[in-house]
Amino acid sequence: MRLKEKMEVFHLAQERRDFMWELQHPFQYDDPAFRRDYEAMLASLAEGDLDHARADRKAIRERLSRMDWEYLTWQEWKEGLARYLENSANARLGLPENRGGRRPPFSRVSFYAGGEALIRSLATEKPGLAKDIEALYRRIAD
């Protein structure tokens, strides 16, 4: 709640009594510019190129409204962390990786995949970051 309290998208949803906002936010997944930049970011992260991924994220952030950016980063953090933990456990158990959402058409599930890839890259760059979930959120959102 401490993190959500700082989010305009959360406050607006509360005012509207929209308790399903995390599932139903009207994000423009099909916008060609967003799709191009998000695909580029996913490709950069898959290649381990965090510098290009940062440039891709900057382009995404510049195009999105504040509420869409908050929604995107919230989903990347919350569900991306869940996917990161799931796939880490799957790897230890010899189970297949959950790769859902990595390819268009994009949906909120794509943010789970994007968040996991981002978290994996950030955790490689700064070991231990994934264990400090508030610092991780700030890093993703900023």
Phi-psi region of 53 (alpha: psi -120 to 50; beta: other; left: phi over 0): alpha
Q: pLDDT tens for the chain, 142 residues: list them.
A: 999 999 999 999 999 999 999 999 999 999 999 999 999 999 999 999 999 999 999 999 999 999 999 999 999 999 999 999 999 999 999 999 999 999 889 999 999 999 999 999 999 999 999 999 999 999 999 8
- What was the pLDDT predicted at 106? 94
- What was the pLDDT predicted at 48? 92
Q: How far apart are CA 99 and CA 90, in angstroms?
A: 12
The model carries a pTM of 0.93
Q: How far apart are CA 73 and CA 93, in angstroms?
A: 29
Six token digits for residue 64: 């999105």
The answer to whether 43 and 57 are in contact (CB under 8 A) is no
- What was the pLDDT predicted at 12? 94
Listed by start position, the domains of the chain span 26-141
